[in-house]
Amino acid sequence: MLSTCNFFFSLLLALVTTVSAFAQDKDKSADTLKNKFLPTGIRLGTDVISIIKSRMGNNFSGWEANADVDFYRYYATLDYGNWSRHDVLTNGDYKNNGTYFRIGVDCNFLLKDPDRNMFFIGFRYGHSTFSETVNYTDSASNFGIISKSISNAGLQGHWGELTTGLRVKIWPGFWMGYTARMKFAPGVKGAGALAPYDMPGYGLLSKAPYWGFNYQLFWRIPFRKAKGALRGK
């Protein structure tokens, strides 16, 4: 009888110990997984190509600011920019001006790189608010040459993007990289007599899909130190 009680007591003790150890391991794994998805920093940057185009050309003016935040291998992204265009026509000119933003997510395939370099594939949703005007002369009138103007004000546009690119750490805190974009499914609301021509952030609406390319500089502000392979400042 005593040996039977000892056996069951030992079995119960072993069972309780096993369950307790399993629960602790499970809590540790959950904490580890939870910590992996806590952001470690934010990168703030700008598009170099927009700045160069604005300084070297006379038909485009604009800038773009970029930001991303890491959640393990995924990066939440936000872009915001200003865009204006001035094209000379045979009998007049076209002008537009507006702002745009893109939000999306990137998936990093260089997960174990200690320097946090990135090769990524992602998706963006783009939205634009803009106005445009065409000024032209009409020489077919019986009253001679007449100047005319057609415009759209307060247009709202949207589109989607598939993206890919690289981010490379040059030295602690400073990053360089590019983003290639395949823009698709553009749409514009609020147009009047003038068919929308060029949408800030997207480009020529007559082209879908439409390809885009940005070369970006980033400065990273760390929140905390990452453990394991995802180290880096």
Residue 67 has pLDDT above 70, yes or no: yes
What pLDDT is stored for residue 125 in this prediction? 98
Q: Which residues pair with 149 in a beta bridge?
A: 135
What pLDDT is stored for residue 1 in this prediction? 44
Q: Which residue, among 108, 231, 230, 118, has the nearest Cα to 168 in the 3D structure?
A: 118
Residues 91-125: pLDDT tens digits? 899 999 999 999 999 999 998 888 889 999 999 99
138 vs 44: which has the higher pLDDT: 44
Over range 201-230, report the average pLDDT.
86
142 vs 193: which has the higher pLDDT: 193
May I ask the CATH architecture of the domain 38-222?
Beta Barrel (2.40)
The count of other CB atoms within 10 Å of the CB of residue 228 is: 10
What pLDDT is stored for residue 20 in this prediction? 41
Residue 141 has pLDDT above 70, yes or no: no
What pLDDT is stored for residue 232 in this prediction? 43
Q: Which residue, among 142, 68, 116, has the nearest Cα to 230 in the 3D structure?
A: 116
Instruction: Specify the residue for token string 């390809």.
Output: 211
Structure tokens belonging to residue 160: 């989607």
In angstroms, the CA 169 to CA 175 distance is 4
Per the CB < 8 A criterion, the answer to whether 106 and 71 are in contact is no
Per the CB < 8 A criterion, the answer to whether 128 and 158 are in contact is yes
Residues 152-205: pLDDT tens digits? 999 999 999 999 999 999 999 999 999 999 999 999 999 988 999 999 999 999
SS3 call for 22 = helix
Element (H, E) at 191: none
Residues 75-84: pLDDT tens digits? 999 999 999 9
Residue 137 has pLDDT above 80, yes or no: yes
In angstroms, the CA 80 to CA 101 distance is 4
What pLDDT is stored for residue 29 in this prediction? 44
Q: Considering the chain, what is the average pLDDT of its residues?
A: 84
Angle (CA) 166 80 159, round 5°: 80
Residue 58 has pLDDT above 60, yes or no: yes
What pLDDT is stored for residue 227 in this prediction? 57
Residue 218 has pLDDT above 90, yes or no: yes
Reported confidence tier of residue 140, pLDDT bands at 50, 70, 90? low
Cβ-based neighbours of 233, under 8 Å, separated by 6 or more: 172, 173, 220, 222
Per the CB < 8 A criterion, the answer to whether 96 and 200 are in contact is yes
Cβ-based neighbours of 171, under 8 Å, separated by 6 or more: none
Domain ranges of the chain: 1-36, 38-222
